[in-house]
Amino acid sequence: MEDAVRFLVDFVRGHGSWAAPIMFVLAFGESLAFLSLLIPAWGALIGIGALIGPSGISFWPVWIGGALGAACGDWLSYWFGDKFKHRVAHMWPLSRHPDLLPRGEAFVRKWGIPGIFIGRFFGPLRATVPLVAGIFEMPYGKFQVANFASAFVWSAALLVFGDVLSKAATWLWGAM
């Protein structure tokens, strides 16, 4: 996985015009139920953020690409939960972890709309909260407002974190 992250970051460094579409695809995969377990992309997303200052890649399209990718991944997870309801419990990986849906339901019922926001920032919750929100019929409009708002904040946070790490590393390297 580390090699894949390094390859993507190096590719974006050499082909800055691909940064926004790559950010979209990575954030989509990171946010989509089931697929997020196979594509833990947050490291690459932070790595792309680290390139923003040094490589001259513009923040705005990369930020929007990441936010829209994350929001679309959550939207599709919500739709999947709404469409297939409790049949989802019999699909991998939920079939191997039967406690996840009841715990997810308790989380969504307790936190509601803020739970969508909270879930965006915690790996295991990121892709399951929208799925559970769809299964248990959280109002669609409220879900989407929280989904898109949290996606834009999440994308910015990852990019800024990567940029700050890059600047700190440059400063430390120069101080040695």
HSE on the CB side for 148, CA within 13 Å?
Answer: 7
Task: Give residue 1's pLDDT band: very low, low, confident or very high (50, 70, 90).
Answer: low
Between CA 115 and CA 159 the distance in angstroms is 22
pLDDT tens string 127-174: 789 999 999 999 999 999 999 999 999 999 999 999 999 888 888 887
Span 42-60, average pLDDT: 85
